[in-house]
Amino acid sequence: MPAEVTVETSVPAKLRFLYEPAEIKVVYGGRGKGASYGIADALLVTGAKRPLRWLCCRETMSSIDESVHALLSSRILALGLQNEYEVQQRKILSRRWAAGRDASDPLAGRYGFSFIGLHNNNAGVKSYEGYDGAWVEEAQNLTKASWLTLEPTFRKDPPAGPFGSDGLGSEIWINFNPELDTDFAWTEFVLKESPRVKVCRMSWRDNPFFPDKLRRQMEELRRTDPDDFDYVYEGIPRSNVKGAVFGAEMTRMDLDGRICSVPYDPRQPVYTFWDVGLDTTAIWFVQGVAMQLRLIDYYENKGKGMDHYTRELQSRGYVYARHWLPWDVGVQAAPEGMGQGQSLESILRKLMPSTEVRTSPRWNNTQTAINAARLIFPRVVIDGLKCESGIRGLRRYQWGDPPKSGATTRQPLHDWASHPAAAFQYISNFSDKPPSEPKQPLRQPSRREYSPFA
């Protein structure tokens, strides 16, 4: 066993609590607070002193490049810990504890850091049940559904955890810059109080390494846009994102209490409304009850074939009446990975032959689609838990900058939030009427049969 390592590192005063036991540790605030560096240093130093297995996660992670892998790797070099850790492509393993605590340690060679995304990954998260802790980065995107899987997974008693027998068992460390005051991380960890949770608010003032260049950018923003300054650097959340397309409508839904629990009614069929993109596919599950449009469920994923989405639909146990696909899926081949030269409409018809599949009418323009969605908002009730990711998309669907050409018409940003918003817009086509039989054309009498006196 190598001699105990000594690491010289400067710890901001507000982050010293990371070196003390607590079940859940939360750091939040604005840009430049330096929390991510402080958390990385604390975990690397602790992992060099005792064997740790730590899960580094975020709500969505398409590749290792979107994780804190690069940050941990850079801090290993900065702290001179190259002899303590082996940086691999998808993991970072401890060299010190490669042989385990002793010759009989079954975890020998497994100590270090792993990286995953939480979204739609319940089974993957639960497989880390034996780990000492988790670091949730950019937790402003954390959903309640993901938290309900993550928190009970890390439930080990001492000597597990970063402080061994002197600690409280496995821990969860959370870091985020607030976005909206309705986000789960804000309401769960900042507004609520719990003896199990230690919360630390930080800003650029608490970072002794705050860079001069970022300071100049910050001062310029303070002068030109004080509201943006408060949001970006002070970490004060907004009620809506700047330029939110459906900001007023979502605020009205909050005030009316129409984001709530909306159970599935087995007496009513379910209609799905899709947006299919090259990067993300979004699906709303809707029931029409009385005059309400009840959004009972939502699902999104990326890089999956139609067989995957079919299994998701079938796994929910709903009785479907109709699937509404985007207007262009009937005339274009499926995106790569979703089909073999066929349209998505034809693929879905084959996979679910007992349910009607239709394509939505084409909008004249984006503004028409947005206006159609605004008209149905007063009838909409949304399940706050099952539709959490879709609700986040509706809140964050925002207008882009005005075009440089001088035109006054703006277009919404085409980002991840545009997919749940586009699928929602198609709900304006909702009809719970059964498909009508095609009408037979009227038979025109021949000239010989015609008589005005007949």
Tens of pLDDT, residues 171-210: 999 999 999 999 999 999 999 989 999 999 999 999 999 9
Token pair recorded at residue 454: 């007949």
Query: pTM of the entire structure?
Result: 0.81
What is the pLDDT confidence band of residue 390, given thresholds at 50, 70 and 90? very high
What is the rounded average pLDDT of the residues 209-230? 95
Q: What percent of the chain has pLDDT over 90?
A: 74
Please give the helix or strand (H or E) that residue 278 lies within, else none. Answer: none
**Cβ atoms < 10 Å from Cβ of 375:** 9
What is the pLDDT confidence band of residue 374, given thresholds at 50, 70 and 90? very high
For CA atoms 205, 210, 215, 221, give the dihedral sign. Answer: negative
What is the rounded average pLDDT of the residues 128-143? 96
300 and 283 in contact (C-beta within 8 Å)?
A: yes
CA–CA separation, 30 and 392 (whole Å): 20
Q: Which residue has the tokens 């988790």?
A: 134
Residue 166's Cβ-side half-sphere holds a number of Cα atoms within 13 Å equal to 6
Q: What is the dihedral of CA 83, 86, 92, 96, to 10 degrees?
A: -50
Residue 116 CA: distances (Å) to CA of 57, 120, 299: 5, 11, 19
Residue 63 CA: distances (Å) to CA of 14, 23, 90, 200: 32, 29, 9, 29
60 and 92 in contact (C-beta within 8 Å)?
A: no
84 and 48 in contact (C-beta within 8 Å)?
A: yes
Mean pLDDT score of the chain, rounded to an integer? 89
Q: What is the dihedral of CA 32, 38, 43, 44, to 10 degrees?
A: 100
For residue 281, the cross-strand partners are 276, 301
Identify which of 283, 290, 267, 272 has the alpha carbon closest to the alpha carbon of residue 429.
Answer: 272
Q: Which residue has the tokens 């802790």?
A: 133
What is the pLDDT confidence band of residue 239, given thresholds at 50, 70 and 90? confident
The confidence score (pLDDT) of residue 338 equals 59
pLDDT at 443 over 70: no
Domains of the chain: 13-213 (3.40.50.300), 247-429 (3.30.420.240)
The confidence score (pLDDT) of residue 439 equals 42
For residue 324, the cross-strand partners are 273, 358
Please give the helix or strand (H or E) that residue 73 lies within, else none. Answer: helix 69-78
Identify which of 134, 49, 132 has the alpha carbon closest to the alpha carbon of residue 85.
Answer: 49
Tell which wins on pLDDT, 137 or 454: 137
What is the rounded average pLDDT of the residues 433-440? 49
Q: What is the dihedral of CA 384, 388, 394, 400, to 10 degrees?
A: 150
Query: Crossing angle for the helix pair 247-256 and 388-396, nearest 10 degrees?
Result: 140
The confidence score (pLDDT) of residue 7 equals 72
User: Which DSSP category does 167 fall into?
Assistant: S
What is the rounded average pLDDT of the residues 308-323? 94
Q: What percent of the chain has pLDDT over 70?
A: 90
Identify which of 53, 341, 299 has the alpha carbon closest to the alpha carbon of residue 171.
Answer: 53
pLDDT at 310 over 80: yes
22 and 198 in contact (C-beta within 8 Å)?
A: yes
Q: Which residue has the tokens 């069929």?
A: 269
pLDDT per position as a tens digit, 65-112: 999 999 999 999 999 999 999 999 999 999 999 998 888 899 989 999
